[in-house]
Structure 1
Amino acid sequence: MTIPGMMKGMVLTGHGGLDRLEWREDLPVPVPAAGEVLIRVGAAAINNTDVNTRTGWYSKAIRGDTASGAAKGYGNLVEKDGGWSGAALSFPRIQGADCCGEIVAHGTDVPAARVGERVLVRAVQPAAGAGTGVGASTFGSERDGAFAEYTCVASENAVAIQSGLSDVELASFPCAFSTAEGMIQRASLGAERVLVTGASGGVGSAAVQLARRRGAHVTAVSSPQKVDALRELGADEVLARDAEPPAQAFDVVLDLVGGAWWPALVEALHPGGRYVTAGAIAGPIVELDLRTLYLRDLAFFGCTHQPASVFADLVRYIEAGEIRPVVARTYPLQDLRAAQEAFLSKVHVGKICLVVRE
């Protein structure tokens, strides 16, 4: 195929509100470097990390919930450390952590046979120079992502997939499901009792499916109008967001919320239980009584880094039909602002996806 010199896409011009998202039709198509592939993007999806990166919520200057600045941002408070990695973010940036597409070109040191492969992109990738450590970067944050017609990525982070699902359906998986699977693997979750907060969102609904796949008894935390949808995904019980979870009732808590409710989540663990977090949408600052931690022999895990095996496992689950996509709504990429507004309303279950190429 002939690869054009220019492409269309949505560009983040700086930290702030939705007005910082700018549609462009004159973006240069990236050229794959050594070890990289060029992907023609078919579909993408929206994640909390896209919104949080736009607003600069990752800055240590911000102590509130993610919703407080989701529409307008936080002004100049976040310029020095508003990026996902805790460093300054460079602009303009093409966001988009979720990507399903086709390899159309390659750099040196990549087999030509990869051209034509349908792929999913690893959303959480090893940071440059991390070696065997736990440094990580996010596709669409530390480097340009999928909110454009073409994107480049290291060949090993473009994982071939064989599936009858559409590009939109496949694009709903990478970021949310790999985050959830990373949490579950860190906790070594088995056929145990698990509490999942934020269960109607992308990561939460993925965690419900993935925990059920392992034989866990799943209690999902969400609003009453989403009970039926969560039960269809595999939740055994659904707990209202303002309800107190039963004390010492769970082996594992998979938490994406944090905030004022956090002490109750710790109390919900029985002795020897494991608390796992990969988000704090209700607020990052919480209070811990260290006596609870050590007298009850609890284990706490923060989950960002993912070994390559997590994404490989996820692709295997998809190909085997062991998990299913949950697409709440679809928008064309050009309508990303409207898609983020719908995302921020939090009335959906699952993912809001973006069609990049028909």
Structure 2
Amino acid sequence: MTAVLLTGHGGFEKLEIRDDVAVPVPGPDEVLIKVAAAGINNTDINTRIGWYSKGVTGATSDGGADGYETTNDDDASWSGVALSFPRIQGADCCGRIVAVGKGVSPDRIGERVLVRNMLRSYVGYRPWECWTFGSECDGAFAQYAKAPAPETYKVDCDWSDAELASMPCAWSTAEGMIHRAQVGKGEHVVITGASGGVGSAAIQLAKRRGARVTAIAGGNKAKQLRALGADQVVPRGDPLSDHVAPQSVDVVLDVVAGSGFPELLQALKRGGRYAVAGAIAGPIVELDVRTLYLKDLTFFGCTFQEDEVFENLVSYIERGEIRPNVAGTWPLEQIVEAQKEFLSKNTGGKLVLTIPQ
């Protein structure tokens, strides 16, 4: 089959397109999926460049093309455990089941499915543990992928394959943050990186719960974000206090971090909640601990997801409560061009690879 192999941590040269890769064989309780489309996410690039290594302190974009000289391969995965190479990346998988392993009903063959990107079955459903599809196991940047049957979900909707493939990683990350922070009706929520996959998903998901949303993104994205439901858009780089009163925000959903972190805490009310699932502007921030404890703030680091997060997401899709936000598609063999566009941050919404059939 055709697949993109990640051969090590580094720049684009570590992505090798091959057409002689063996088709995976589903084991017990697994299914084989003919992949139709696979979304691009920060985690794919972070893993390729080794950004998760503690030796890296810069923004994702700093090493997006060439990687980092300070990466330590021993801790360069999101889990802190060294990856084995080659690896087929791709956390987002939309396709159809074409074969099943022992213990899986053959009636599932033909289902159009999404794979939960945070896999729990491989670690025995232990609390706070999971594998990422395309990191600890091979993922969707290939014509075929295998996945655990219980974590491969049939989805009935009229969306295109590319639209469905835009959902798993970004939308489950956003829903996971909102779930952990228990966003409620009428609350004021600030969302950083709001034009990206996670941010634009968080706008819809927060509005679905009745929240009032302030989105932070490039000024040229304001019209698009308002169309997704944002009540207010703050141009990236503007002082947040010029647009949002101090101590007026109930929840911050952050995927940016970096130098703007202190402003987010100043905007939070006493007893406010801060949920974070990314640090594209840099992982090292300035924290005045007095702000944390004197305002009785609660921090949520959001990676692990309870089962209901992805299950709820599938139900929202099937009930038509959310809509996809696909900004562009590329064929699999143009993965480098697609990742360059992703890193440019010029396009709002998700970028998706289509897989040759």
Structure-2-length-normalised TM-score: 0.97
Deviation at 1:288, TM superposition (A): 1.5
**What corresponds to 1:46 in structure 2?**
40
Residue 31 (structure 1) aligned with residue 25 (structure 2): yes
Look up the equivalent residue of 1:51 and give its one-letter code: I
1:157 to 141, 151, 158: 151
2:127 to 106, 126, 133: 133
Deviation at 1:128, TM superposition (A): 3.7
CA distance in 2 between counterparts of 1:129 and 1:77 reads 27
Q: Over residues 204-235 of structure 1, what are the superposed CA-to-partner deviations in whole Å (9 max), with x where a residue is unaligned?
A: 00001100111100000011110000000000
Q: Over residues 54-104 of structure 1, what are the superposed CA-to-partner deviations in whole Å (9 max), with x where a residue is unaligned?
A: 000000110111111110001363211111211111100000000100011
- Report 1:13-28 matches (<5 A): 13-28=7-22
**What corresponds to 2:277 in structure 1?**
278
1:197 to 176, 192, 199: 192
Q: 1:34, 1:109 within 8 Å by CA — same for their partners in 2?
A: yes
Look up the equivalent residue of 2:227 and give its one-letter code: E
**What corresponds to 1:307 in structure 2?**
306
2:182 to 153, 166, 188: 188
Look up the equivalent residue of 1:308 and give its one-letter code: D
Residue 9 (structure 1) aligned with residue 8 (structure 2): no
Residue 226 (structure 1) aligned with residue 221 (structure 2): yes
- Report 1:61-80 matches (<5 A): 61-75=55-69, 77-80=71-74
CA distance in 2 between counterparts of 1:76 and 1:20 reads 17
Deviation at 1:318, TM superposition (A): 0.6
Look up the equivalent residue of 2:197 and give its one-letter code: G
Q: 2:56, 2:70 within 8 Å by CA — same for their partners in 1?
A: no
CA distance in 2 between counterparts of 1:10 and 1:75 reads 23
Look up the equivalent residue of 2:112 and give its one-letter code: R
Structure 2 unaligned spans of 5+: none
- Greater CA deviation, 243-252 or 272-281? 243-252
Q: 2:36, 2:161 within 8 Å by CA — same for their partners in 1?
A: yes
Deviation at 1:130, TM superposition (A): 5.3
- What secondary structure, in the 3-state scheme, does the structure 2 residue paired with 1:26 have? coil
- What secondary structure, in the 3-state scheme, does the structure 2 residue paired with 1:120 have? strand
Q: 2:123, 2:130 within 8 Å by CA — same for their partners in 1?
A: no
1:95 to 89, 103, 107: 89
CA pair 176-148 structure 1, distance change in 2 beyond 3 A:
same
CA distance in 1 between counterparts of 2:301 and 2:87 reads 27
CA distance in 2 between counterparts of 1:92 and 1:127 reads 23
- What secondary structure, in the 3-state scheme, does the structure 2 residue paired with 1:264 have? helix
**What corresponds to 1:3 in structure 2?**
none
**What corresponds to 2:256 in structure 1?**
257
**What corresponds to 1:248 in structure 2?**
247
Residue 170 (structure 1) aligned with residue 164 (structure 2): yes
- Report 1:288-327 matches (<5 A): 288-327=287-326
- What secondary structure, in the 3-state scheme, does the structure 1 residue paired with 2:4 have? strand
Deviation at 1:152, TM superposition (A): 0.5
- What secondary structure, in the 3-state scheme, does the structure 2 residue paired with 1:104 have? strand
CA pair 292-142 structure 1, distance change in 2 beyond 3 A:
same
CA distance in 2 between counterparts of 1:17 and 1:355 reads 22
Deviation at 1:357, TM superposition (A): 3.7
Look up the equivalent residue of 2:266 and give its one-letter code: E
Q: 1:11, 1:93 within 8 Å by CA — same for their partners in 2?
A: yes
Q: 2:32, 2:146 within 8 Å by CA — same for their partners in 1?
A: yes
Moved over 4 A (4+): none
Q: 1:43, 1:357 within 8 Å by CA — same for their partners in 2?
A: no
Q: Over residues 159-205 of structure 1, what are the superposed CA-to-partner deviations in whole Å (9 max), with x where a residue is unaligned?
A: 01001111011000110000000000001001210000000000000
- What secondary structure, in the 3-state scheme, does the structure 2 residue paired with 1:27 have? coil
Q: 1:57, 1:78 within 8 Å by CA — same for their partners in 2?
A: no
Look up the equivalent residue of 1:205 and give its one-letter code: S
RMSD: 1.1
Q: 2:165, 2:352 within 8 Å by CA — same for their partners in 1?
A: yes
Overall identity of the aligned pairs, in %: 57
Look up the equivalent residue of 2:192 and give its one-letter code: T
CA distance in 1 between counterparts of 2:114 and 2:121 reads 19
Q: Over residues 114-168 of structure 1, what are the superposed CA-to-partner deviations in whole Å (9 max), with x where a residue is unaligned?
A: 1111100101122743543111221101110000000001101100100111101
- What secondary structure, in the 3-state scheme, does the structure 2 residue paired with 1:190 have? coil
CA distance in 1 between counterparts of 2:118 and 2:234 reads 30
Look up the equivalent residue of 1:345 and give its one-letter code: S
Deviation at 1:243, TM superposition (A): 1.8
